[in-house]
Every structure is written in C-alpha cells, then in structure tokens.
Amino acid sequence: MTRLLHHATWLGLALALASCGGAQTPSGPTEADRVDPRHLYPLGDGYVWTYDVDTGTGLNTLAISRVVAHRGNRFEVSNGSDPIPYEVRPEGIFRVDKQTWLLRRPIRVGESWESALGGRAEVTNIHATAETVEGTFRDCVEIRETGENRQVRSIFCMDIGLVFLESIQSLPIPGEHVTATARLRGHLFGPAEE
C-alpha cells in the first residue's frame, strides 16, 4: 500500500509539473498580425476616432471619423460628409467607391497598389512611430500616396487604425503648397454607453 501511495504521489507531481509547462504567458502579436490590414484599420459597429487637425491655414479643428453602417463585410465610415464605403476582404481593406485599396496584402516595405488619389500607394515603413495625444505608437505601418497635385503620408497602428495623416496639396502658384496634418486624439471601439 505504501508503495502504491509513493507511485501515486510521484504521478501526481509529474502531472502537476507537466501542466505547469503548458501554461505560458502570451508572447504578444505575431508579425503577421501586426501588419494584417484588418488589424491596421479595425472596423466595427460604434467605432469612433477623433483627430486634432492642423489645416495648414491657421484654422485648426477637431475631426471625427465613425463607422455609421455595417452589413456583413461592408462598413461605411463618415468624416462629416458622405460616408466612405469599405469592404473587408482577405486581401485587405477595399474602398468600394474608388475601386482601390486602402490597405492591401502583403504589407511590407516596397509593396504598392493604385491609390484613391489616382497615383500609387506604397508601404514605406513597417516600424514607424507616431506621437499623438493618446500616446506614442510604435511598430506602425507608414503608407505614402501620390496623386496629381497631392501627396499623403498615413500611419496605421495595430488594433487602433489611422493615428497620423499628413497631406501636402500643391497650389496653382508654382512652388507653393499647403500642408495639413491630423493626429489621433482618442478612439472608442464599440457602442457608446448610455
């Protein structure tokens, strides 16, 4: 009987140690998750982002983007004007009204696609940093877009979305331009509590 108890004790201890080995602390997001378009621009019911906007004209303002409609994999995001329709696809986030991609796989430096500005959008950095009111965001993805008279630099961060945008608009006067920036002030994901 003593021998049986001895073996049972060792068996219990071995099982306890084995179960401890399986419990590991999470190691954080994988690189694939970090650059997944669905994580870089998360969309869902009640999602809202607010931005401090320097218009480049001396009149600064607050901008609000919110998901105003959602059906299946389609989302409409309003910035105070006509909503922009997006579709979440396996390849990325597709802008339906312009028939172009906002973000497209694979997200790695040098990859590009046709942009909504009529030019190209290119991934220029996958470890970008952005300073915002909400804090410092690191390991974000920077996209640069070009159009006929405009250049846009956007920074998207995992599970937050767009945290910084810089738009440089050329003016009809040669060599003159206006630079506007938007920095994330805050965000809320999910329906607002009443």
Q: What is the 3-state secondary structure (H, E, C) of the chain?
A: CHHHHHHHHHHHHHHHHHHHHHCCCCCCCCHHHHCCHHHHCCCCCCCEEEEEEECCCCCEEEEEEEEEEEECCEEEEECCCCCEEEEEECCEEEECCCCEEEEECCCCCCCEEECCCEEEEEEEEEEEEEEECCEEEEEEEEEEEEECCEEEEEEEECCCEEEEEEEEEECCCCCCEEEEEEEEEEEECCCCCC
Beta carbons within 8 Å of 193's beta carbon, 6+ residues apart: none
Beta carbons within 8 Å of 116's beta carbon, 6+ residues apart: 95, 98, 100, 102, 145
Which amino acid, residue 30? T
User: What mean pLDDT, rounded, does the chain reach?
Assistant: 85
Q: Give mean pLDDT, residues 67-84.
A: 95
Which amino acid, residue 144? R
- Look up tokens 């410092």; give the residue: 136
Joined together, the tokens standing for residue 161 give 């979305």
Strand-pair partners of 150: 169
Q: What's the pLDDT at 27?
A: 59
Q: How far is CA 72 from CA 14, 88, 150, in A?
A: 49, 9, 33
Q: What's the pLDDT at 40?
A: 97
Q: How confident is the model at residue 101 (pLDDT cuts 50, 70, 90)?
A: very high
Q: What's the pLDDT at 47?
A: 97
Is residue 2 over pLDDT 50? no
Query: Please, are residues 81 and 110 in contact by the beta-carbon 8 Å criterion?
Result: no
Q: What is the pLDDT of residues 11-64, one digit of tens each?
A: 232 323 233 333 333 556 677 778 899 999 999 999 999 999 999 888 899 999
Q: Where are the alpha helices (DSSP H) in 23-61?
A: 31-34, 37-40
Q: How confident is the model at residue 148 (pLDDT cuts 50, 70, 90)?
A: confident
* pTM, entire model: 0.81
Q: What's the pLDDT at 144?
A: 98
Q: Give mean pLDDT, residues 77-104.
A: 96
Q: What's the pLDDT at 152?
A: 97
- Domains of the chain are 31-188 (2.50.20)
